[in-house]
Structure 1
Amino acid sequence: MFGVSVFLGEALTIETKAYLQAMKDSGFEGVFTSVHIPEEDASQYVKRLKTLGEWTKELGMQLVVDSSGEALRKIGFSFERPEEMLAIGITGLRMDYGITNQISAQVSQSMMVAFNASTITQEDVEELQQFHANFDQMEAWHNYYPRPETGLEKESFSRKNQWLKALGFKVMAFVPGNETLRGPLFSRLPTLEKHRGLHPLASTIELLEDCAVDAVYIGDPTIDDRTKQQFFYYIKKQTLLFSIEEVPETNYLAAVVGNHQNRWDAARDVIRSADARFKTISTIEPQHTNDRVQGSITLDNKLYGRYMGEIQLVKRPLFKDEKVNIVAHVIPEDLSLIDWCKAGQLFELQPIQNNERG
């Protein structure tokens, strides 16, 4: 499950709707928003929330709202009348601090209820059971952390998630965006501190693969078009898309561009394209046989004999080899994705255009 965040402090525009459509097309299914609002803005928030609900219903996306009882009251809703929220497109509530487990259990009979994943305790779970909560409609959602140095640490985060999953909860966490960032700090909105400034997709894969997370939402308002495409490839095609820059004056870029698969017997130092050297190719002359930095795309030349034509993506710095040509480099923004190209992983190498740089 993948989702985005939409903040109601600013007007919703046709650009907002177009972004939601683009993210839906990329495989995203959820929208998160908040109605923690000052009194004087209540009418605007109601209007925007209803508009957002109309859009998510039209797009077939889930809409989860972070709210307290007081905030719901300000905009004319109540935990006692969940049918009114469902009618405008709200499919779930993330319960703020101070809402009783009895109320949460009651709401879970009608819609999804998300708890603060960091603070829920065994006592809370036992109370929810006593109040006959519908655990099929309960999830555990982590916060995002706008202030640098305040995001969570991976190991304790993962342990908590394993405990939550053992109880039957689905776990959600946030990763940062990389285009429009949320103010006032504009320091990105991750759950894990290590992800602040990291590629949104690399952060997402780490949460899903290493941290017992089931759903990932983009915390900041938007990601750029290139990153949308990378999410599309990952979600729809199970493929990692790397943008690459050609080494000047090379003759062999066309030989490496396109679709590949990491070998199932994955190497320590490089990602080896499984079938590259078994294709019919012309003789490859030695060219640009320099030191191989992380992210180098290499092509074995004729000096390597039967290995001529092998394509590799370098995972860790390696010395130069006269038998190995450097053809291109993965752009710096995508280097963190290399660690997630595991055994058997499909990947694609695509030259980046100047207008695609963030």
Structure 2
Amino acid sequence: MAEFGVMAYPDLSPMNEIKDYFRLASKYGFTRAVSSMLSVEGSREEIIAYFREFIESAHGYGLKVSLDVNTGFMKKMNQSYEDISLFHEIGCDVIRLDGSYGSEHDYIMTQNPYGIEIEMNASSRLIEKELIYFTEKNVGRERVRLCHNVYPQRYTGLKWNDFLEKSRILRKYDYTIAAFVSSHAPNTHGLWEAADGLPTVERLRDLPIDLQARILLATGGVDDILIGNAFASEAEFEALAEVAKPPKSLENSRIYEKIKAYGPNMHPFGPCRKLKVILEKDITEMERENLLELVPQLDNGDSSEWIWRSRCGRLINADRPIPPRLYGGEFFPRGSVVVVNDNYRHYSGEIQIVREPIVNDGKRNLIAKLAPHEEMLLDLIDANDLVEFYEFKTY
């Protein structure tokens, strides 16, 4: 199950505000806190004192702490790959190595006696070489994590296709992978005077925060979601908590027995994807029920390139009428959510999402549209994935 976390900046925020942020994160089920030791000025003793308080506060709210370091900083603090006792003394849970000591020395660091996890830079072009070495040494997932970079400067985040390819490569090694999303709350701050958010992937930078998270998780290449800039709004926390909420169980749904009736050997279903929709004003209660209450929706792994289809409504509500309703357009555009009406009685009640424009032949009612930018998530729904629709609300 995905973990969610926040990043806080001791060089930019007073400790009392950071503690309030931890409290808010904890309220919405977040379990991770991240910070960078690299940008904090002061003596060795001052840095130790600050982060000791930082960690105690985060732990008080049930947050596991990851601290970003590099080899130069480690030397400044009289630490090395062979000795990370200082991090144990201040209670650090995870050390994120922004720069590597090299595979052999990084391996030694993963074998520290304190159980401190070592988080490697997932965006590094050399990361697979490290992971191959770790695999050869049988380094378990309880010792190593992966975390992508953040990119403060607009237009510099990872390319979408490069991110997908990197995810495909890294996933083979079965370590937990984190990536960053951006808050759009006013007056946020972050590394290196960040004013345009702090995402991992450039094309996600300006999307709503929950959609960024749903897209990253839908790629299958990310386990944990971290908010890169601070301070995110409570409404954004609430939206991400909805993403983190476990989907409705297929086994406990009304559709499960209907599916089993087709045969005892059901094909395996994938994860549940949550899609936001804007409901049409004239949607009926029957259509709303088919769309929002029959959860999760599912296809049979055989949807075409034109539509994604769920047979749930037609199986559960086969005897309840869906009268045809006039729609003025010649075509249903991409992103339309339609229900088959009684002009095609055998399929009446079936929910469909339009992937490519289809002709309006009078056999479908328009009941909703995907909310803005949700089409990007639609492209990531695999044939066997489950889908849960919920109504778009602004925040």
Q: TM-score range by the shorter chain?
A: 0.7 to 0.9
Distance in 1, matches of 2:132 and 2:387, equals: 45
3-state DSSP of counterpart to 2:365: strand
Alignment length (residue pairs): 346
Partner of 2:69: 67
Distance in 2, matches of 1:119 and 1:325, equals: 49
Partner of 2:268: none
Gaps of 5+ in 2: 250-270
Distance in 2, matches of 1:20 and 1:88, equals: 22
Kindly provide the amino acid, as one letter, of the partner of residue 307 in structure 1: Y
2:334 corresponds to 1:328? no
Partner of 1:2: 3
CA contact (8 A) 1:32 1:65 kept: yes
Shift of 1:324: 0.6
Residues 350 and 163 of structure 1: CA distance in aligned 2, closer, same or farther (over 3 Å): closer
1:15-54 to structure 2, matched below 5 A, reads 15-23=20-28, 25=29, 29-40=31-42, 46=48, 49-54=51-56
* CA distances 1:297-356 after superposition (whole Å, capped 9, x unpaired): 21222111211111222223323231111112221143322223323322222233xxx4
Kindly provide the amino acid, as one letter, of the partner of residue 239 in structure 1: C
2:191 corresponds to 1:153? no
Partner of 1:296: 336
Kindly provide the amino acid, as one letter, of the partner of residue 23 in structure 2: A
* CA distances 1:105-158 after superposition (whole Å, capped 9, x unpaired): 5532322223334153788789999xx996763444432222122223355555
2:283 corresponds to 1:247? no
Kindly provide the amino acid, as one letter, of the partner of residue 283 in structure 1: P
Distance in 2, matches of 1:133 and 1:308, equals: 54
Residues 204 and 124 of structure 1: CA distance in aligned 2, closer, same or farther (over 3 Å): closer
TM-score by length of 1: 0.77
3-state DSSP of counterpart to 1:303: helix
Residues 337 and 101 of structure 1: CA distance in aligned 2, closer, same or farther (over 3 Å): closer
CA contact (8 A) 1:170 1:214 kept: no
Shift of 1:200: 1.4
* CA distances 1:73-120 after superposition (whole Å, capped 9, x unpaired): 77x674475344224331221224475767645532322223334153
CA contact (8 A) 1:11 1:48 kept: no
TM-score by length of 2: 0.71
Partner of 1:263: 299
Identity of matched residues, % = 19
Partner of 2:316: 279
Kindly provide the amino acid, as one letter, of the partner of residue 379 in structure 2: D
CA contact (8 A) 1:65 1:93 kept: yes
The one of 242, 245, 249 aligned to 1:233: 245
Distance in 1, matches of 2:238 and 2:332, equals: 26
1:158-237 to structure 2, matched below 5 A, reads 168=173, 170=175, 172-180=177-185, 181-183=188-190, 184-198=193-207, 199-208=211-220, 215-221=224-230, 222=232, 224-225=236-237, 227-233=239-245
Shift of 1:163: 5.8
Partner of 2:14: 11
3-state DSSP of counterpart to 2:26: helix
Please identify, of 336-345 and 77-86, the stretch whose mean Cα deviation from structure 2 is larger. 77-86
Distance in 2, matches of 1:342 and 1:125, equals: 28
CA contact (8 A) 1:144 1:219 kept: yes
Shift of 1:263: 1.0
Shift of 1:288: 4.1
2:355 corresponds to 1:315? yes
Gaps of 5+ in 1: none
Shift of 1:71: 4.2
Distance in 1, matches of 2:345 and 2:131, equals: 64
Residues 115 and 301 of structure 1: CA distance in aligned 2, closer, same or farther (over 3 Å): closer
Partner of 1:108: 110
1:129-140 to structure 2, matched below 5 A, reads 137-140=143-146
Please identify, of 284-293 and 232-241, the stretch whose mean Cα deviation from structure 2 is larger. 232-241
